[in-house]
């Protein structure tokens, strides 16, 4: 369902880009209606690469239209990428203090976030022609909690794990992942056994006390931040870039997407756009 149509003239460095933002309902879960905003250049080519984006907010708050992300979207548009920013259900609403102290609620929040992302992928696959999307070049990116969902989803698809009735088509794989202060939450001991992941670009701050860049393991569960994931990528022969800021904290989750355009473009051209 088309909700709105907006033409926006945006100045991107030396280039002015005319683009449109269309809103669609992509899923309904009980009384919760989930929307996606599709940002597409007016001169977009058919079968353009696509970037799915998930906002941050600790699984308690957040908005797909947070203005802190707009400059990042515009940069992706300048590279000829269709940007799709989605809603997802926030499973930690009402949970006090740090989410890491409530592993059951955190596991539930990640699970329903992944489910919603999978529904968004299937919507894009079913409407690829309408949205000018190349179904073979769908990427995923996220900030903080959204980055955790993005990384988790790629791992689940590549390793065919998890109990998801709405998983994308069997041959679907994300073309790439860009994570701003994310990580993987594992609920089993065998986390180091992993198939080759999608090409991944990781950003993280060394003093991030919200989403650690390192690892936390308790009993059979563990969280593995960006620095810890490098070991996983090395063992699985996965391609990755890692941009680490030793003196910065969780502000990396939104600042780096607007300050590292050259690196983002280098990654995109290396693994997706020119391939």
Given a contact cutoff of 8 angstroms between Cβ atoms, the answer to whether 232 and 212 are in contact is no
Reading the chain (275 residues) residue by residue, the pLDDT tens digits are: 343 333 333 443 435 789 999 999 999 999 999 999 999 999 988 899 999 999 999 999 999 999 999 999 999 999 999 999 999 999 888 776 565 566 788 889 999 999 999 999 999 999 999 999 999 999 999 999 999 999 999 999 998 887 788 888 778 999 999 999 999 987 555 556 688 999 999 999 999 999 999 998 766 678 899 999 998 899 999 999 999 999 999 999 999 999 999 999 999 999 999 97
DSSP H helix total and E strand total for the chain: 7, 12
pTM: 0.91
pLDDT at residue 7, rounded to an integer: 38
Tokens standing for residue 46: 């058919």
What ranges do the domains of the chain cover? Answer: 2-273
- Do residues 77 and 19 make contact, with C-beta atoms less than 8 angstroms apart? yes
Tell which CATH classification among 3.10.20.520, 3.90.1210.10, 3.40.50.300, 3.40.50.1820 matches the domain 2-273.
3.40.50.1820
Which strands form 221-225's sheet, in the order they lie side by side?
A: 183-186, 221-225, 215-218
Tokens at 207, concatenated: 């003093």
For 26, phi then psi, to 5°, come to: -105, -15
Q: Which residue has the tokens 């998890």?
A: 162
User: Which residue do the tokens 């990116």 mark?
Assistant: 141
């Amino acid at each position: 369902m088309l909700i709105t149509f907006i033409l926006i003239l945006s100045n991107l460095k030396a280039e002015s880009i005319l683009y449109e933002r269309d809103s669609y309902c992509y899923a309904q879960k009980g009384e919760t209606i989930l929307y996606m905003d599709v940002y597409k250049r007016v001169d977009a080519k058919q079968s353009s690469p696509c970037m799915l984006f998930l906002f941050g907010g600790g699984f308690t708050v957040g908005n797909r239209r947070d203005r802190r992300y707009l400059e990042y979207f515009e940069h992706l548009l300048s590279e000829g990428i269709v940007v799709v920013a989605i809603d997802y259900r926030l499973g930690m609403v009402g949970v006090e203090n740090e989410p890491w102290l409530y592993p059951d609620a955190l596991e539930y929040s990640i699970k329903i976030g992944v489910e919603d992302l999978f529904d968004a992928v299937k919507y894009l696959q079913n409407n690829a022609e309408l949205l000018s999307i190349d179904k073979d070049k769908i990427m995923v990116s996220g900030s903080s909690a959204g980055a955790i969902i993005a990384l988790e989803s790629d791992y689940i698809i590549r390793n065919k794990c998890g109990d998801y009735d709405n998983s994308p088509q069997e041959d679907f794989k994300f073309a790439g992942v860009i994570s701003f202060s994310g990580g993987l939450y594992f609920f089993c001991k065998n986390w180091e056994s992993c198939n080759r992941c999608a090409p991944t670009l990781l950003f993280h701050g060394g003093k991030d006390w919200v989403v650690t860049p390192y690892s936390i393991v308790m009993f059979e569960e563990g969280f593995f931040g960006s620095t810890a994931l490098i070991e996983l990528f090395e063992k699985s022969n996965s391609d990755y870039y890692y941009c680490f800021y030793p003196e910065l904290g969780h502000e990396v989750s939104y600042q780096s997407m607007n300050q590292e355009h050259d690196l983002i473009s280098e990654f995109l051209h290396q693994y997706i756009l020119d391939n």
